[in-house]
Amino acid sequence: MDVKIVFSDLDDTLLTTDKHLAPETRRALRALGVRGIEFVPCSGRALSGISQDILGLEACHYAVCSNGAAVVKISDGQALHRSSLGFERTSRLYEMLKGFRITFDCFIDGVVYAQKDRFAYLDEIDLPPNTRYITKLTRTVIDRSIPEFLQRKQEEHGNLERLTMYYHDDQERDAILTAVELDPTLIWTSSVPHDIEVMDRNAGKDNGLKWLCGYLNIPITSSVAFGDGLNDANMLKAAGLGVAVANAVRETKRSADKVVATNDDLGVAQTLQELLKD
C-alpha cells in the first residue's frame, strides 16, 4: 500500500490505557516523518486537549479535533475547516435537558468549558479512572450559568464546535438521545462509557479525513486510519485502510478492514512498522 497519510484516534488506540505514548509508538510516528508521511491525530478532544508530545512530532501538521467539527493547522492553531454545532442549537438542547444531573461541556475555539456545579458530577458518574482523570484535566471550569456563558461567547463571536454530556444512568441517557434526535440537523456518538457527544450532522471524523485528504490532494486510497470507539467507526470505513485495535467496540471492529493488537500491546506501532516495510 502506498501510504501517504495516517489518521489515528488517541485514547485507547494510539495511547496506552494510562494515557501514555509508548516509546515504540513514538518511534513509529517519527519514522512517518522521515518518510514524509503525514500523521494526523483524529480525536474527540479539542485541540487544547492534545498533548504537545503528539502535536510536536515532525509528521504532525494537522489535527482533526472535536470529532471532526474542526480541522486545524498545528503551526498557528487555526481551523481550516469547521462543521460547528453553534450556539442556537446548543442553547436549545440545554433548555430541554437542564433539569437532569448531567454535564454540559462546550467545545469552543479549541477549549472545553464545564460549568462548575455540573463539573462535580464527574466524581459521581461511573467512569474508568483514567477517563475521569483526562476529562477533568482537559476542562476549563466556569462559575457563571451556562446560558450566561453561552451568550457571552456568542457575543465574542466564538465558535462552538461540539458538546459532550456525561450521564449517570439509562434514564438520563434516554433523555439526552430523545432531545438530540428531535433535531435532524444533529448527530451523536460516544467514545467512552456514560458519554454522549453531539455534533452538526456534517461533522464526524470520517468527514474530517475526507476533507483533509482533499485539501492536501492525497487520494483517500492512500490513507490509513486507526480507532477503537464508536466515534471511529465511520472513519475506518472511509479510509483506504481502516484498522481497529483489538480492544475496539464491536461496531468499530466490523467497520475495519483488519483488527490488530490492543492499544496496550501497541497494535498501532506494530501495524505502522509493517506498512513501512512495503
Which domains are seen in the chain, by residue range?
5-82+203-277 (3.40.50.1000), 87-200 (3.30.1240.10)
Predicted pLDDT of residue 170: 96
pLDDT by residue (tens digit) across 161-220?
999 999 999 999 999 999 999 999 999 998 888 999 999 999 999 999 999 999 999 999
pLDDT by residue (tens digit) across 226-237?
999 999 999 999
For residue 169, give the C-alpha cell: 444512568
- Convert the chain into a string of H (helix), E (strand) and C (coil): CCCCEEEECHHHHHCCCCCCCCHHHHHHHHHHHHHCCEEEEECCCCHHHCCHHHHCCCCCCEEEEHHHCEEEECCCCEEEEECCCCHHHHHHHHHHHCCCCCCCEEEECCEEEEEHHHHHHHHCCCCCHHHHHHHHHCEEEECCCHHHHHHHHHHCCCCEEEEEEECCCHHHHHHHHHHHHCCCCEEEECCCCCEEEEEECCCCHHHHHHHHHHHCCCCHHHEEEEECCHHHHHHHHHCCEEEEECCCCHHHHHHCCEEECCCCCCHHHHHHHHHHHC
- Evaluate if pTM is beyond 0.85: yes
Average pLDDT of the chain is 95
Predicted pLDDT of residue 191: 85
Q: Is the pLDDT of residue 264 over 90?
A: yes
Predicted pLDDT of residue 31: 96
Confidence of residue 255 (pLDDT cuts 50, 70, 90): very high
Q: Is the pLDDT of residue 278 over 80?
A: no
Confidence of residue 85 (pLDDT cuts 50, 70, 90): very high
| β-sheet bridge partners, residue 259 | 244
Mean pLDDT of 129-133: 91
Predicted pLDDT of residue 154: 96
Predicted pLDDT of residue 274: 95
Predicted pLDDT of residue 106: 97
Of all residues in the chain, what percent carry a pLDDT higher than 90? 95
Predicted pLDDT of residue 140: 96
Mean pLDDT of 65-89: 94
Mean pLDDT of 118-145: 94
